[in-house]
Amino acid sequence: MSEIHPALILLAGGLLLFALPTTPRRIASACLPVLGFLNLLTIAEGTLWHITWGGYELTVLRADRLSMLFGYLFHLAAFLGAIYALHLKDRLQIGTGLIYAGSAVGAVFAGDLITLFIFWELLAITSVFLIWARGGERALRSGMRYLVMHISSGLLLLLGAVFYFLNTKSLAFEHIGLDKGYHYLIFLSFGIKCAFPLLHNWLIDAYPESTPVGTVFLSAFTTKTAVYALARGFAGEDLLIYIGATMTIFPVFFAVIENDLRRVLSYSMINQIGFMVVGIGIGGALGINGAVSHAFNDVIFKGLLFMSMGAVLYRTGRMNATDLGGLYKSMPWTCACCLIGAASISALPLFNAFISKPMVMQGVANMGAVGIWLVLLAASAGVLHHAGIKIPFFSFFAHDAGIRCPEAPLNMRIAMTISAILCVAIGSYPPLLYNLLPYPVDYISYTTTHVVLQLQLVFYGVLAFAFLMLTGRYPSEQPSVNLDVDWVYRRALPKGIRAIARTGGPLIDAFFNGGKALIRKLIAAIRTQHNNRGLFGRSWLSQSNVLIAIIFLAIYLIYYF
């Protein structure tokens, strides 16, 4: 049995890449995920590693079928991302990308809430550099908003862990549920990273601003780590069914009118995560198997779609549907891979989503929740429109934009080809994935009813798209930015501040006088708290300290946005 933690090879190797010259760095970046995977194979299920830190027993490694599945997945995603990035000369993206992957691996093997928190925050800190790597003011500001949201998620997790420990005298990360009020702190922390409705804008804001390579890494780890955490801590909670159903349907409307194709894929990601969240809410063998198998498949087919759009961006410098079209002539290999990704996300028979997403829908049907089932069916038709058809159609077909460019670099084509092969292999032979799932699988994918229903859905979806396009009724892409609920802090809040500023006079004076008085009281309070009995004199594991950090972060958030 290995004595090397599954995350260590990626974490240490990612740091090592910063010191290597270009050619050795490229070789090492592709080899590290393979070495990590081989090390993972030596870890037996049921393995537990404990350490004592600060007087508390922490479980830094817990290997069971659920964590092992995500461990395999994250090493596969790291390998595909490393291959896709081989053409790069800069150290930042591949180095932080592998450290980011190692953080995700560490999180899914964490057996206690403190270890989870450490890797949870490391996920945020490393991933933001993949956004900033693109450069420019937009990427900088988007990365700052992303970082604030994810640091907030970590602080909520820490605060929830503190209350959990104070009430249970345990830090073990097992099933938590929603029985106590403080459980919602942890639930909300996971919800931020999972892009719950109203908490989702960080994803739509940040992912399209990242580099082509950065977006491939980002699409694989953060949200899937949150899906794992929900499956571990909140399986069977009915609230998740309604949250997940909402996640499947609302992004469809934004994706249809969105012009930036990577933003379309970002909305599509929320849609697919919604199916996973519904499965977790259903719970039981069928629900959890459906949720985590769809997470596994989503990393592959969504990664493939982001790779294809990244290749288009890399070669053309364009990403808006209004600026693209006709690229099948210049990039036929990328086009073919994109079509396979589109067929996969549309859950066509013989492609991987066909064997996972319907498991969730079957679980809903078994509950007799007809309304939820109809929502998921409508969402499936919606994803066919915006990801299965819109992405390849507007980028590679539609009108000829006159762009003539080279095909994607060889390493990009290799990564896309491996992903495409996996989409078909898993979809054609389900035991490749089913044998890895947490529970034994008695679900049969290829039944006549299932195949016919899915083919009907695809047929009528394509027919509807063709009708809307030919009659000119399909929502036209506009060269503009569509605001989501971020309208509140990106438009409404600045306008409100400017309106208050224009009133001038007594109102502003009263505001500043009140602020000065508040600061004086705050200084006096701080002086009284810096003693053995004061707030700041307590041990590090104090809910008060975490609460203060959250308050100051909230003040910064309001100021920055």
Q: What tens digit of pLDDT does each residue of 421-433 get?
A: 999 999 999 999 9
Neighbouring-strand partners of residue 53: 56
Check if the beta carbon of residue 9 is closer than 8 Å to that of residue 90: no
- Average pLDDT on 322-327 reads 90
Using the predicted structure, report yes or no on whether residue 227 has a pLDDT greater than 70.
yes
Averaged pLDDT score across all residues of the chain: 88
Neighbouring-strand partners of residue 260: 320
Cβ atoms within 10 Å, residue 405: 16
H/E stretch holding 60? strand 56-62
CA 100, 106, 109: angle at the middle one, nearest 5? Answer: 145
Using the predicted structure, report yes or no on whether residue 464 has a pLDDT greater than 90.
no
Using the predicted structure, report yes or no on whether residue 543 has a pLDDT greater than 90.
no
Check if the beta carbon of residue 345 is closer than 8 Å to that of residue 251: no
Using the predicted structure, report yes or no on whether residue 132 has a pLDDT greater than 90.
yes
Question: Which stretch of 174-183, 249-258, 547-556 has the lowest confidence by average pLDDT?
Answer: 547-556
The pLDDT value given to residue 509: 67
DSSP class per residue in 323-354? G---TTTT-HHHHHHHHHHHHHHTT-TTSGGG
Using the predicted structure, report yes or no on whether residue 411 has a pLDDT greater than 50.
yes
The pLDDT value given to residue 293: 98
Please state, in angstroms and rounded to a whole number, the distance separating the CA atoms of residues 154 and 131. Answer: 19
Q: Which two tokens stand for residue 461?
A: 């979806």
- Average pLDDT on 186-200 reads 95
Please state, in angstroms and rounded to a whole number, the distance separating the CA atoms of residues 398 and 323. Answer: 11
Q: Which residue has the higher pLDDT, 537 or 266?
A: 266
Check if the beta carbon of residue 334 is closer than 8 Å to that of residue 409: no
Q: Which residue has the higher pLDDT, 5 or 529?
A: 5
The pLDDT value given to residue 558: 44
Please state, in angstroms and rounded to a whole number, the distance separating the CA atoms of residues 192 and 149. Answer: 7
DSSP class per residue in 145-168? HHHHHHHHHHHHHHHHHHHHHHHH
Residue from 349, 231, 208 nearest 280 by CA: 231
- Average pLDDT on 469-478 reads 71
The pLDDT value given to residue 471: 81
Using the predicted structure, report yes or no on whether residue 283 has a pLDDT greater than 90.
yes
The pLDDT value given to residue 522: 62
Q: Which two tokens stand for residue 227?
A: 């899906």
| 524 confidence band (pLDDT: 50, 70, 90) | low
| 515 confidence band (pLDDT: 50, 70, 90) | low
The pLDDT value given to residue 534: 47
| 420 confidence band (pLDDT: 50, 70, 90) | very high
Q: What are the backbone angles phi and psi of residue 61, rounded to the nearest 5°?
A: -145, 125
Measure CA 407 to chain center: 28
Check if the beta carbon of residue 22 is closer than 8 Å to that of residue 89: yes
Q: Which two tokens stand for residue 196?
A: 């719950």
Q: Where are the alpha helices (DSSP H) in 346-477?
A: 357-367, 370-383, 390-396, 410-428, 431-434, 448-470
pTM summary value: 0.88
- Average pLDDT on 140-159 reads 94
Distances (CA, A) of 18 to 12, 38, 89, 212: 11, 23, 11, 20
Residue from 275, 418, 278, 284 nearest 354 by CA: 275
| 517 confidence band (pLDDT: 50, 70, 90) | confident
Check if the beta carbon of residue 278 is closer than 8 Å to that of residue 240: yes
Using the predicted structure, report yes or no on whether residue 467 has a pLDDT greater than 70.
yes
| 1 confidence band (pLDDT: 50, 70, 90) | low
Residues 20-74 pLDDT 10s? 999 999 999 999 999 999 999 999 999 899 998 877 889 999 999 999 999 999 9
- Average pLDDT on 314-342 reads 93
Q: Which residue has the higher pLDDT, 348 or 524?
A: 348
Check if the beta carbon of residue 104 is closer than 8 Å to that of residue 221: yes
The pLDDT value given to residue 11: 96
Cβ atoms within 10 Å, residue 436: 16
Check if the beta carbon of residue 430 is closer than 8 Å to that of residue 445: yes
Using the predicted structure, report yes or no on whether residue 285 has a pLDDT greater than 50.
yes
Using the predicted structure, report yes or no on whether residue 559 has a pLDDT greater than 80.
no
Using the predicted structure, report yes or no on whether residue 402 has a pLDDT greater than 60.
yes
- Average pLDDT on 531-555 reads 49
- The 8-class DSSP code of residue 62 comes to E
Residue from 124, 75, 100 nearest 17 by CA: 100
The pLDDT value given to residue 131: 96
Q: Where are the alpha helices (DSSP H) in 21-136?
A: 22-41, 65-84, 91-108, 113-132
What's at 211, amino acid-wise? T
Proportion of the chain above pLDDT 70, given as a percent: 86
Using the predicted structure, report yes or no on whether residue 111 has a pLDDT greater than 80.
yes
Using the predicted structure, report yes or no on whether residue 9 has a pLDDT greater than 90.
yes
Using the predicted structure, report yes or no on whether residue 3 has a pLDDT greater than 70.
yes
The phi-psi region of residue 317 (left if phi > 0; otherwise alpha if psi is between -120 and 50; otherwise beta) is left
- The SS3 assignment for 400 reads coil
- Average pLDDT on 499-503 reads 68
Residue from 235, 426, 442, 274 nearest 359 by CA: 442
Q: What are the backbone angles phi and psi of residue 112, rounded to the nearest 5°?
A: -140, 165
- Average pLDDT on 365-380 reads 94
Residue located via tokens 């809430």:
113
Q: Which residue has the higher pLDDT, 514 or 385?
A: 385
Residues 268-281 pLDDT 10s? 999 999 999 999 99
Residues 338-357 pLDDT 10s? 999 999 999 999 999 999 99
- Average pLDDT on 481-494 reads 69
Proportion of the chain above pLDDT 90, given as a percent: 71
- The 8-class DSSP code of residue 323 comes to G
The pLDDT value given to residue 103: 97
Please state, in angstroms and rounded to a whole number, the distance separating the CA atoms of residues 326 and 335. Answer: 10
- The 8-class DSSP code of residue 491 comes to I
Residue from 71, 122, 431 nearest 114 by CA: 122
Distances (CA, A) of 65 to 68, 72, 282, 286, 369: 5, 10, 19, 15, 29
Question: Which stretch of 19-33, 214-228, 454-468 has the lowest confidence by average pLDDT?
Answer: 454-468
